[in-house]
Amino acid sequence: MRSKLNSAAVFSASILLLLYLLSANCARSVSVQTGTESVTPLQYGPPRELSQLEDARINESSGIAASIRYKDAFWTHNDSGDSARIFLIDREGRTLAVVNIKGVTAVDWEDIASFRRGDEDYILIADTGDNARKRDSCVLYIVREPAIGIHSTVKEAPVVEVEPDSRIRFRYENGPLDSEAVAVDPAESTVYLVSKNVEEGTVYSMPIPPKESKEPNIAKPIAQLKVSYANGMDISPDGDRAVVLTYGDAYEYSRGESETWSRAFSREPRSIKAPARKQGESICYGPDGKTLYLTSEGEHQPLWEIPVIESPK
Model confidence, pTM:
0.86
Q: How would residue 116 be classed by pLDDT, with cut points 50, 70 and 90?
A: very high
Q: How would residue 3 be classed by pLDDT, with cut points 50, 70 and 90?
A: very low
Give domain status of residue 24, yes or no.
no
Counting residues of the chain whose pLDDT is more than 90, the rounded percentage is 78
Quick one: pLDDT at residue 124?
Answer: 98
Give domain status of residue 163, yes or no.
yes
Is 137 strand, coil or helix? coil
The strand pair at 166-172 and 217-225 is best described as: parallel
Express each pLDDT in 293-308 by its tens digit. 999 999 999 999 999 9
Beta pairing partners, 169:
139
Does pLDDT of 19 surpass 60?
no
Q: How would residue 42 be classed by pLDDT, with cut points 50, 70 and 90?
A: confident
How far apart are the C-alpha atoms of 38 and 27, rounded to whole Å? Answer: 14
Is 282 strand, coil or helix? strand
Give domain status of residue 165, yes or no.
yes
How far apart are the C-alpha atoms of 86 and 67, rounded to whole Å? Answer: 12
Give domain status of residue 112, yes or no.
yes
In contact, 207 and 190? CB cutoff 8 Å: yes
Give domain status of residue 14, yes or no.
no
Quick one: pLDDT at residue 45?
Answer: 95
Beta pairing partners, 68:
none
Quick one: pLDDT at residue 149?
Answer: 85
Give domain status of residue 35, yes or no.
no
Residue 125's CATH number: 2.120.10
Is 291 strand, coil or helix? coil
The strand pair at 95-101 and 85-90 is best described as: antiparallel
Give domain status of residue 251, yes or no.
yes
For residue 92, the enclosing domain spans: 40-310
Give domain status of residue 15, yes or no.
no
Quick one: pLDDT at residue 212?
Answer: 86
Does pLDDT of 241 surpass 80?
yes
The DSSP letter of residue 228 is S
| Structural domains counted in the chain | 1
Quick one: pLDDT at residue 23?
Answer: 33
